[in-house]
Structure 1
Amino acid sequence: MKAYQAYLIDLDGTLYKGNEAISGAKAFIDYLNTENIPHLYVTNNSTKSPDDVVQKLKSMGINAKPQEVVTSAMATADYIATEKPDASVYMVGASGLETALKEAGLQLKSDTDVDFVVMGLDEQITYEKLTIATLAVQKGATFISTNKDPSIPKEQGFLPGNGSLTSVVTVSSKTDPIFIGKPETPIMKKALDLLQVNPTDVAMIGDLYETDILSGINVGIDTIHVQTGVTSEQEAMTKPMPPTYSVRDLTVLKQQLEKGE
């Protein structure tokens, strides 16, 4: 396996499942830190801030820094700020998205007279929120969604994800949103810009083909599939565009990188 100069790393299904670290995750990140190999954690979760992500990783013994975290909320805020600085936004989402939008200098409003409607996962979703979002899009606001994930894994099972909530406004407004998170390119381009490493020397590591692996393929970088989450090795490697590599877990990946295999 090629030893890359930098890595983009998924979280859920790759480093942890729920609140439990996946075997080998800590050792792999320790290896990257010891060898001073740049890496970023790339997540579609818009509800958490980088500090929240770091605290969760640290609770599992994984040493991370806020500046190593790229969330779909951050990428969404950057996208809007680039399109129109000081834009007005109606937001459906949680604190992680709210913080990112405010830090980007965007103006949050509670009515339909806005430049953008942004939807992120909101576990306190209401009919009123969906109504305002729908009417704002119908009036001409640009429709943005942090990610198209149809479901999210919870203790009870797979629950409605942001893609499912977004679809309500999509159908009601007859308008398709611009998606920012994996597997779309905006979040990956932000991560690559932060790394400042030639893309040919960067690999994306993740478990889910439809988000993690495709996100790497869509920006033209190599991909490493880990068999610790949703997508099986057989399913991943028989896709029309398979990942560059598939490994059992991060323990095997670390061993291969150390041996130069």
Structure 2
Amino acid sequence: MNKQYGCYLIDLDGTIYRGEKTIQSGVDFVNRLNEKKIPYLFLTNNTTRTPEMIVAKLASHGVITDVDHVYTPIMATVSYLLEHNPGTDAIPVYIIGQIGLWKGLLAEDRIVLDNNNPKYVIVGMDTDLTYKKICIATNAIRKGAEFIGTNSDHVLPSGDKLLPGNGSQCAMIAVASDQKPFFIGKPSAVIVNYALKKIKKNIEESLIVGDNYETDIMAGINCRMDSLLTLTGVTTKKQLAEEKIQPTYVLNNLDEWQL
């Protein structure tokens, strides 16, 4: 019998779906949470989609939810920028990313686009990444802009493939700028703490659920939060056996989890 938790932070890619493929055990798990009215947030590192797009994506896999149940590094980045710039009229940023990141950041009136003298360079997943974008980001960071990476995922699950992720993009810019990024998304404690603040829950009563040891499980470890690894995505049993710190729980899939 596992511990009963009052809140769940749930990963998406590799947990609820994998590319266009539905992971039915993940879908059924969320449906059980809804039935029992147990609070949860989808805690994703994906910044390419808006919350509305994520809700639509989930619906296509059989999960009916709303934007209030979605939390992304974009939201955490906005909170971080506002928290660290109190009383400032404008926060100039340079953005590398896709529609989710652009819309999420610029929806906040105080965050403004500045390609010439940004205070922050914010890098999210960009499948249209160009050499010019890298040059602008690198030069700005070398001039003193703070380098923020929305997440450090080296790879992204897509069907049966693993594709380069934002961590790989950030690594290139880090080498060119001689500056390591400050990561907001999992496994950073930053996004977890902001997520818990949103849902008004604490670490002791919460469980983080995901398929990736390096992001989902390490986020739990970094926050001293219990964690559950489902073997439906990135991390395999063989890879897990090599880790010194183990998740609180390891399951083949989420059908095995008791609520």
**1:152 and 2:153 are equivalent in the alignment:** no
Q: Which residue of 1 aligns with 2:254?
A: 250
Instruction: State which of 158, 165, 171 in structure 2 corresponds to 1:161.
Output: 165
**SS in structure 2 at match of 1:7:** strand
Superposition TM-score, scaled by structure 2 size: 0.93
Q: Is the 8 A contact 2:208 2:226 kept in 1?
A: yes
Q: Give, in whole Å, the separation in 2 of the partners of 1:156 and 1:61.
A: 21
Q: Which residue of 1 aligns with 2:175?
A: 171
Count of matched residue pairs: 255
**SS in structure 1 at match of 2:105:** helix
**SS in structure 2 at match of 1:200:** helix
**SS in structure 1 at match of 2:5:** coil
Instruction: State which of 200, 203, 210 in structure 1 corresponds to 2:204.
Output: 200
Q: Which residue of 2 aligns with 1:40?
A: 41
Q: Which residue of 2 aligns with 1:60?
A: 61
Q: Is the 8 A contact 2:25 2:254 kept in 1?
A: yes
**1:220 and 2:220 are equivalent in the alignment:** no
- CA-CA distance at 1:159 after TM superposition: 2.4
Q: Is the 8 A contact 2:44 2:71 kept in 1?
A: yes
Q: Give, in whole Å, the separation in 1 of the partners of 2:135 and 2:57.
A: 34
After superposition, give the CA deviation of every residue in 1:30-60 in whole Å (9 maximum; x if it has no partner): 1111111000001111111111111001011
**SS in structure 2 at match of 1:170:** helix
Q: Give, in whole Å, the separation in 2 of the partners of 1:247 and 1:155.
A: 21
The one-letter amino acid of 2:165's match is G
**SS in structure 1 at match of 2:24:** coil
Structure 1 residues 109, 195: CA separation in 2 closer, same or farther (over 3 Å shift)?
closer
The one-letter amino acid of 1:97's match is L
- CA-CA distance at 1:103 after TM superposition: 2.2
Q: Is the 8 A contact 2:155 2:168 kept in 1?
A: yes
Q: Give, in whole Å, the separation in 2 of the partners of 1:32 and 1:224.
A: 15
**SS in structure 2 at match of 1:64:** coil
Structure 1: 5+ residue stretches without partners: none
- CA-CA distance at 1:155 after TM superposition: 5.0
Q: Which residue of 2 aligns with 1:21?
A: 22
**1:182 and 2:186 are equivalent in the alignment:** yes
Moved over 4 A (4+): none
The one-letter amino acid of 2:54's match is V
- CA-CA distance at 1:234 after TM superposition: 5.0
After superposition, residues 44-193 of structure 1 pair within 5 angstroms as 44-84=45-85, 85=88, 86-155=90-159, 157-193=161-197
Superposition TM-score, scaled by structure 1 size: 0.92
Structure 1 residues 246, 155: CA separation in 2 closer, same or farther (over 3 Å shift)?
closer
Q: Is the 8 A contact 1:237 1:243 kept in 2?
A: no
Q: Give, in whole Å, the separation in 2 of the partners of 1:207 and 1:153.
A: 10
The one-letter amino acid of 2:227's match is T
Structure 2: 5+ residue stretches without partners: none
Deviates more, 1:89-98 or 1:158-167: 158-167
Q: Is the 8 A contact 1:145 1:180 kept in 2?
A: yes
Identity level (%): 39
Structure 1 residues 68, 95: CA separation in 2 closer, same or farther (over 3 Å shift)?
same
Q: Is the 8 A contact 1:237 1:246 kept in 2?
A: no
After superposition, give the CA deviation of every residue in 1:162-191 in whole Å (9 maximum; x if it has no partner): 111112221111111101111011111111
